[in-house]
Amino acid sequence: MAREVRTVDEAVARFDAIAARWDGRTVEAAAAQRRHLGRTAAGIGRRVVFIVGALAALLLAVSLFGLLIQPIGATGLMIAAVAGIAILAGGALWRGAPDRITWDEKAPTGKVIAQLESLLVRARAALPPAMFSRIDSISARLPLLEAKLAEADALDPLAQDARRLMGKHIPDLIDSYAKVPAAWRDAPGGDGLSVDQRLATSLEAADGALADMAERIVADDRRDFETKGRFIEAKYRDLGEG
Amino acid sequence: MAETKLKLEAPDALAPLAPAEAAGLVPVEDSVKTKLDNVVDKFVAELVAADANSPEFGRKVDELTNMGRKQIAEAAGHSNRFLDRPVRAIDKDSGIGANLTELRRTVEDLDPGRRGSLAPRKLFGLIPLGGRLKGYFRSYQSAQTHIGSILARLSSGKDELLMDNAAIDTERAGLWKSMGQLEQMIHISKVMDARLEEKANELDATDPAKAKAIRESALFYTRQRTTDLLTQMAVSVQGYLALDLVKKNNVELVKGVDRASTTTVSALRTAVTVAQAMTNQRLVLDQITALNTTTANVIDSTGTMLKEQTGAIHSQAASSTIPLETLQRAFQNIYETMDTIDRFKAEALGNMKTTVETLSGEVEKSKGYIARAEGVEQGKLAGTTSPLVPLEG
């Protein structure tokens, strides 16, 4: 019998697992893809809201003009039609948020992480298959880091390092990898490492650093919990037994 | 009657510790040492096999300059947190000081010694003066809510001290673990030093250029890292000891607060008995006398001794021909307790300040090394994983 799904998170996790099996990808990749699609859908949603809102405002303006001032006539109709077309064209051509904003120390953490995740989803196909597991591993760490960094003090050095790594260093690495033509990626460089091999070691280091940061952030919560546990034990254990 | 003098001892201030003395305080098992030795041997063999001018040799040397960086950074993270604690311990004592002062003031108002006309010799046998005595005991009733609220605040201040101690225990457990890792890294770097020296001496005859390269780069950086690791170890060890000091101070203060609450409640209980004996009226101080005075689960024996002592005062008050003197003595107990706490605080404060100064100096010293270690790491995202790491567990 199928296990009962109790929460939205469980349902989403199950969806990711099924999607991963279907595409032959890992669960982490499917989850990252879903979050990326979610953000894309949100962008489209904002566009639709803009078009519908603008058209409604135009219709209202034309109606009020016709009712209160004077009938709009053929010219008015023409102007309204042109305005309507302009709104539709504007909505369709509007680029929305750019895929990649330039790195800024003050960029909101959520945006930095969302951008990295989308970048990883888009770049995944262009990277050697050997990198997939590493990219998935990095993607899998992002939701936790996003949640925890949102609570962290912006001046915390750990948070700053994490933001810089995710917002600048990894995107820069992937961009500069993409610039090397595919045919030259196998050739060994000065110290014997090919471009692909160096990408592998770099991503490994980045993944390790993110794992470290996540561990250190979680360690704070663990310490806090441990302290509260110790306090309750110190204060109440003997009373309870007595 | 057995006197149980309250003794609060301020722990001694922390003495500075030389980095050379820091190693060896946390034991490393022999089996772990053997494994680490093997790692070092393998590393040295690879280093010696590489051409002294090759990138491979350079990479190996980079690994040495980076050796223990993570462990030092982690231990330094602890130092930043623990330095904060003794400083805070000096700055505040959870409002306990202010509450004790308030308690003292309130209790002094009730002190029979400050109401000369109540002296039993003057009153003995004179019934008409009983009215003034009743008035005196009535003042207890109006003060009991106030005293009750001060005692509640003291109890919550005590909880803060206990919470502080729980945080210290957590910090010390983490610190112990990171000191174990540092100790392993110190072992690695010392063995590395010895092996590199050995190899360089061997190579002097056959390959002097490589011997020179090993001495000038590998051995040089290894020694630098040994110093860094030992410095951090000294800071961590002192932090570990300082945290214990703060904890002991807190325990003593908790003892003091417990004792102050107990002696107060005990005095009020005595007053109830004395009132019964002298005015034949029941003095109702339920709010306070119902308080559980033996909350001393933290402070072991004091609780039992106090219980006996309270019982003794109690029976004495009921039977004595001079009950007001007994009451007076109960008040004296409160004052003595508070004086002891004041003395303790003054002494502990001095010792704590010395400790903080010692620690701050050490932490400052280690910060220089950490900055250097960070500098080495800057811009070094890519790279292979170093084998020079402590073993888990």
pLDDT in tens, B141-188: 888 888 888 888 888 888 888 888 898 899 888 888 889 999 999 999
Q: Which of B167, B297, B381 sits opposite A227 (nearest CB)?
A: B167
Per-residue b or e along B98-117, where b marks 16 or more CB atoms closer than 10 Å to that residue's CB: ebbebbbeebeebbbeebee
CA closest to A170 among chain B residues: B381
**Residue B256 pLDDT > 60:** yes
- Mean pLDDT of the B129-136 span: 68
The single-letter code of the amino acid at B267 is A
**Cβ contact B162–A235 (<8 Å):** yes
**Cβ contact B169–A192 (<8 Å):** no
**Cβ contact B383–A226 (<8 Å):** no
pLDDT at A11: 78
Question: How close is the nearest chain B Cα to the Cα of A131, in Å?
Answer: 15
Contacts of A217 in chain B (CB under 8 A): none
- Residue B385, classified by CB atoms within 10 Å of its CB into exposed (0-12), middle (13-18) or buried (19+), is exposed
pLDDT tens for residues B266-302? 888 888 877 777 776 677 776 666 565 444 333 444 4
Q: pLDDT confidence of B1, banded at 50, 70, 90?
A: very low
Asked whether the whole model's pTM tops 0.90, one would answer no
pLDDT at A95: 65
B-proximal residues of A, 75-114, CB under 8 Å: none
Mutation target to probe the A interface, by most A beta carbons within 10 A, among B381, B385, B386 is B381
pLDDT at B187: 92
pLDDT at A1: 47
A208 lies within 8 A of chain B by CB:
yes
What is the DSSP secondary-structure string of B179-240? Answer: HHHHHHHHHHHHHHHHHHHHHHHHHHHH-HHHHHHIIIIIIHHHHHHHHHHHHHHHHHHHHH
pLDDT at B388: 79
A206 lies within 8 A of chain B by CB:
yes
pLDDT at B33: 92
Q: Is B111 left (phi over 0), alpha (psi -120 to 50) or beta?
A: beta
**Cβ contact B382–A230 (<8 Å):** no
Task: Answer whether B355's CB lies under 8 Å from B14's CB.
Answer: yes
Phi then psi dihedrals of residue A179, to 5 deg: -75, -25
Total beta-carbon pairs less than 8 A apart between chain A and chain B: 57
* CA pair distance B251, B257, nearest whole angstrom: 10
ipTM over 0.95: no
Which pair of structure tokens corresponds to residue B384? 């292979």
Per-residue b or e along A132-157, where b marks 16 or more CB atoms closer than 10 Å to that residue's CB: bebbbbbbbbbeebbebbeebeeeee
- Mean pLDDT of the B369-378 span: 53
CA closest to B295 among chain A residues: A239
pLDDT at B383: 45
In this structure, of A156-165, B43-52, B186-195, the range with the lowest mean pLDDT score is: A156-165
- B5 or A148, higher pLDDT: A148
**Residue B264 pLDDT > 80:** yes
A181 lies within 8 A of chain B by CB:
no
Which pair of structure tokens corresponds to residue A74? 């053929």
Contacts of A235 in chain B (CB under 8 A): 159, 162, 297-298
B292 lies within 8 A of chain A by CB:
no
Per this entry, what is the length of chain A?
242
pLDDT at B369: 58
Average pLDDT, chain B: 77
**Cβ contact A212–B70 (<8 Å):** yes
CA closest to A158 among chain B residues: B77
A-proximal residues of B, 129-168, CB under 8 Å: 159, 162-163, 165-167
Share of chain B above pLDDT 90, in %: 14
H-only helix segments in chain B: 19-22, 30-49, 55-65, 69-91, 96-110, 120-123, 130-206, 208-213, 220-279, 286-289, 301-319, 323-377
**Cβ contact A191–B298 (<8 Å):** no
Low-confidence stretches of chain A (pLDDT < 70) are: 1-5, 20-25, 95-101, 238-242
A215 lies within 8 A of chain B by CB:
no
Mutation target to probe the B interface, by most B beta carbons within 10 A, among A138, A196, A226 is A226
Contacts of A191 in chain B (CB under 8 A): 55-56, 59
pLDDT at B296: 37
